[in-house]
Amino acid sequence: MSAGLMDWAGLMWMLMRALMQALVGWSDALLVALLVLPVLAMLLGFALGGRAAERIALWTLPLGLAVALAIGALVLHQGMPLEYAMGGWAPPLGVALRVDGLSAALLLTTALVITGVGLYARADFATPSGVAETRASLAFWTLLLGLWAALNAVFIGRDLFNLYVAIELLTFTAVPLVCLKGSPENLQAALRYLLFALLGSVLYLLGVALLYGAYGTLDIAQLAAAVRGSAEPAALVAVVLMTAGLLAKTALVPLHLWLPPAHAGAPAAASAVLSALVVKGSFYLIFKLWLDLLPPQYGQQIAQGLGALGALAILFGGVLAIRQTRLKMLIAYSTLAQLGYLFLVFPLVLSPVTLLAATGEGTPPAWTGGVLQLVSHAFAKASMFMGAGLIAIAMGHDRIGELGGLVRVLPVTLTAFALAGLSLMGLPPSGGFAAKWLLLRAGLETGQWWWMLVILGGGVLTGTYLYRVLAVAGFSGGESAPRPLQPVARSRELIVLGLALVSLLLGLLPLSSFEVLKIGREGDETAAVEALTQPAITGAVWP
Amino acid sequence: MSVGIGLLTDVLLSGTVLMLGLWVILTADRLRAAIGFLIYGLLVALVWVRLGAPDVALTEAAIGGGMIGLLVLGASTRLPPEPPRSPGAPARPRRWILHVIAAALSATVALGLALVVLGLPEPAPSLAAAVAAELPATALENPVTGVLMAFRAVDTLFETVVLVLALIAFWSLIPDAGWSRRPDWLPLPHPPPALVLLARILLPIGVLVALHLFWIGASLPGGKFQAGALLAALWALVMVAGLARPIAATERLVRVLAVLGPLVFFVIGLGGLWLAGDFLAYPEGLEKPLIIIIEVVLMLSVAVMLGLILAGLPSADTAVRAPKARPGTEGQP
């Protein structure tokens, strides 16, 4: 028996090895597929229209997920980033793509969330029988695929103009998702979003032009080397301009005005991708600008400013979330607050203490914490928005005060809401806990106690607004159990629960597993491979 | 002497551009501001000519001035007229504060940029030499086309995908009840005979000019985007004059034409993965024919998509369609 098991294990191992060997030969095609697959599906869906658009989109979900998984497996297997020069033209003349550990994790997050959203949205955006095509379903499925391509392009891009095209693609898919319902309020929210996003694009493009004028290349790695060589004032001005633009797209306070009405007014499936993924795309670029492009000593003053805005977002978003009367508005303000945590990464990573300690030691805990916050919030928030959509279907409204007895109508959804809430609050055992704990530790280690106060205060605020919902929905119901206005498919509830569970389980991963994020961080591949063999990150900060 | 004349031209041109820009911002009447913006685009195109960037100038004239100008003009005629401000009422003082803040911010950015740009290294580091060195490998003579179709082909490809998504985004604003109806923004209820005649005469000439613009793109400034924009404008003129009816969003033919460009580009790019070893690389010896095929279909797709956007949206209810406010203004410029 046990010998048979050993054989099986051996066989599986050999199969895996053979698969990886095969994948290595296909790595270029896989990288290209990240962009080509969703775009081709979008183009075909749009041309064929009607039910074909939905069918093509649904078929693309498993394929795209498989590509993201294969890419992740390859990066892990090789222990170094995948790179590809488009058309065989190397930078600076051509455009290159690159997938390192962080990109691979984000690609996989994107694929999982979009798969969940796509399966969930089937019920909302199916073309009704008897109609050849409806506006909303055609737009939703093609835009979802376009958005996927845009996010993939953002996460694997390393050329600043190529990334500009990617964020334009993201904007042009995200904005119409806001007004799919077509009401005047939706249109107003979408228009406001569009104006903020376009302002962001202009500022970003200005910065790109300045950098090209100063250094004659747009490749991030080449720019980083050039800036290290000769620091032009133009470089800092350019990065500040680009950051300001990207902040408008990320909706960091005080450029947040567009986010709550846009995210709360969109259909639930659209809100989920907007809140979970779209705002992270522009954040990822800010992250790359300050941590990859500019030398660390450049950013220390401005990092404190970014951190301060993040802190403001945490507190302001939290307080406003408490005051909301609509569930979707509450979740939207919660996004505002959770985005704030991401910006605490800058003062914590760029602190002189971290920089001194981290030389040759790989990534500091605040960096890992930031990434973990980004990923776990993506899953938790996608789950929450889609859960809110189910609640609105079952109850006919999303007024928090009147959700009494929800626990008896949608127990699975409410459980998912609570589990996702754990991650937002930063309670163990959740991905959000690990993230906030790493950020707290970084605050302690770098002696920046004020950020620790903000993180703890933000947790209390998050707990308060989530408790408001759970207290009403979970415990008060009165005598008569409310009946759902419209039935909700159990499968949709399970998707919501699944995403919440992922955000929870991220916290149960051993910290050492986050070492994969480091792949390709150090510039040269050997350092990354060595970093992989090191013990858990817990011991890696102080020499 | 030529330096003096050049300087005089530059001073006059930049002064006019600045004044016109200020006027467009400050003018209260929407329609006038829109027409001013159209002219502004053409003047900015002249600035690009003076800067020695004829490719940018053509694009600015076709897209920045022409296309966007037409869209803004169309939008300004379709908006309900602004209520006249009563002389006694306070002119919303908080708006003024916002305007001042916006102006101060813009001025700061402009000044800061000017300082930074003046401090840039001289001569500016540039890839022009590298482009010139590698251009023979692409079998093209116009370096701009080389960058757009070979070195950075992926960006061109994705820009056209952005255009497809812009069309989807635009169409997602169609009222549900009007989804299968034809757009009704452009056709004049009673097109004046002069306009119809103009459309008839301009159509063949315009198509010829567009084809010329397209064809010289391989060696001289010009190319698919400019030609596509011109074709779209001609199509819009034909629709205004009632010579062709606008096409509904449900019509599959226009959708196929719209995606044909990026689709063919993708297919040839993927073919490169096998035949030339890289995605978006062209097999040796076939560069020129393949690039021409891509450019022809891209021009067609750009023209179709821009034309569909210019044609506007259908209204939910046919009864709403009313030839009221300011008849004839659409054809005026």
DSSP A379-400: HHHHHHHHHHHHHHHHHS--BG
Q: How far is B171 from chain A (nearest CA, A)?
A: 8
Name the percent of chain B in helix, strand, coil, to the closest 5: 70, 0, 30
Flag if B125 and A214 touch (Cβ within 8 Å): yes
Pair A377, A276: CB distance under 8 Å: yes
pLDDT of residue A530: 35
The residues with which A326 forms a beta bridge, in sequence order, are A399
Chain A contact for B162 (CB, 8 A cutoff): yes
pLDDT of residue B319: 47
Nearest CA in chain B to A94: B151
Rounded Cα distance, B71 and B311, in Å: 10
pLDDT of residue B317: 67
Nearest CA in chain A to B272: A87
Beta strands in A459-505 (DSSP E): none
Q: Residues 224..283 of B with a Cβ closer than 8 Å to A: which?
A: 249-250, 252, 255-256, 258-259, 262-263, 266, 269-270, 272-273, 276-281
Flag if A46 and B258 touch (Cβ within 8 Å): yes
pLDDT of residue B93: 62
The dihedral formed by the CA atoms of A204, B156, B153 and A232, expressed in degrees to the nearest 10:
-20
B135 contacts in chain A (CB < 8 Å): none
For chains A and B, CB pairs below 8 A equal 177
pLDDT of residue A532: 34
**pLDDT exceeds 50 at position B332:** no
For B13-27, write each residue's pLDDT tens digit.
999 999 999 999 888
Q: Locate the domains of chain A by residue range.
A: 23-158, 174-294, 299-543
Mean residue pLDDT across chain B: 86
Backbone angles phi, psi at B320, to 5 degrees: -65, -30
Pair B83, B31: CB distance under 8 Å: no
Rounded Cα distance, B94 and B96, in Å: 5
Pair A264, A251: CB distance under 8 Å: no
Q: Locate the domains of chain B by residue range.
A: 1-79, 134-333
Q: At A435, which helix (H) or strand (E)?
A: helix A431-445
Rounded Cα distance, B44 and A363, in Å: 48
Flag if B154 and A95 touch (Cβ within 8 Å): yes
Provide the percentage of residues in chain B whose pLDDT is more than 70. 90
Chain A contact for B127 (CB, 8 A cutoff): yes
Q: Residues 43..102 of B with a Cβ closer than 8 Å to A: which?
A: none
Q: Using CA of residue A363, residue A366, residue A372, residue A378, what is the dihedral sign?
A: negative
Q: What is the DSSP letter of B149?
A: I
pLDDT of residue A539: 34
Instruction: Concatenate the DSSP letters of all residues of A89-109 into one string.
Output: --TTTS-EEEE-HHHHHHHHH
Q: What is the mean pLDDT of residues B92-102?
A: 80
pLDDT of residue B88: 59
Q: What is the DSSP letter of A159?
A: B
- Counting Cβ atoms within 10 Å, is residue A505 exposed (0-12), middle (13-18) or buried (19+)? middle
Helices (H), A256-364: 259-265, 268-273, 279-288, 300-322, 327-349, 352-358
Q: Which residue has the higher pLDDT, B3 or A247?
A: A247
pLDDT of residue A335: 96
Q: What is the pTM of this model?
A: 0.91
Task: Point out the residue among A142, A182, A241 whose CB comes nearest to the CB of B176.
Answer: A182
Pair B233, B331: CB distance under 8 Å: no
A88 contacts in chain B (CB < 8 Å): 276-278, 281
Flag if A86 and B279 touch (Cβ within 8 Å): yes
How many DSSP H helices and E strands does chain B contain? Answer: 12, 0
**Conformation bin of residue B113: beta by default, left when phi > 0, alpha when psi is -120 to 50:** alpha
Q: What is the mean pLDDT of residues B124-149?
A: 85
**pLDDT exceeds 80 at position B59:** yes
Rg (CA), chain B: 23
Q: Which of B172, B260, B273 has the highest number of chain A CBs within 10 A, making it the mutation to test binding with A? A: B172
Nearest CA in chain B to A136: B172
pLDDT along chain A (543 residues), means of 10: 72 85 86 96 94 96 96 90 91 92 95 97 91 93 97 96 96 95 93 95 95 93 91 88 96 93 95 96 96 86 93 96 95 96 93 70 82 96 96 91 87 94 90 92 90 94 94 71 80 96 90 80 43 34 33
pLDDT of residue A8: 83
CA nearest neighbour of B280 among B292, B294, B295, B270: B270
Flag if A172 and B169 touch (Cβ within 8 Å): yes
The residues with which A96 forms a beta bridge, in sequence order, are A85
A48 contacts in chain B (CB < 8 Å): 252
pLDDT of residue B119: 83
Q: Report the range of poorest mean pLDDT among A262-271, B125-134, B290-299.
A: B125-134
Q: How far is A455 from chain B (nearest CA, A)?
A: 32
Backbone angles phi, psi at A97, to 5 degrees: -115, 155
Rounded Cα distance, A263 and A274, in Å: 7
pLDDT of residue A522: 62
**pLDDT exceeds 60 at position B260:** yes
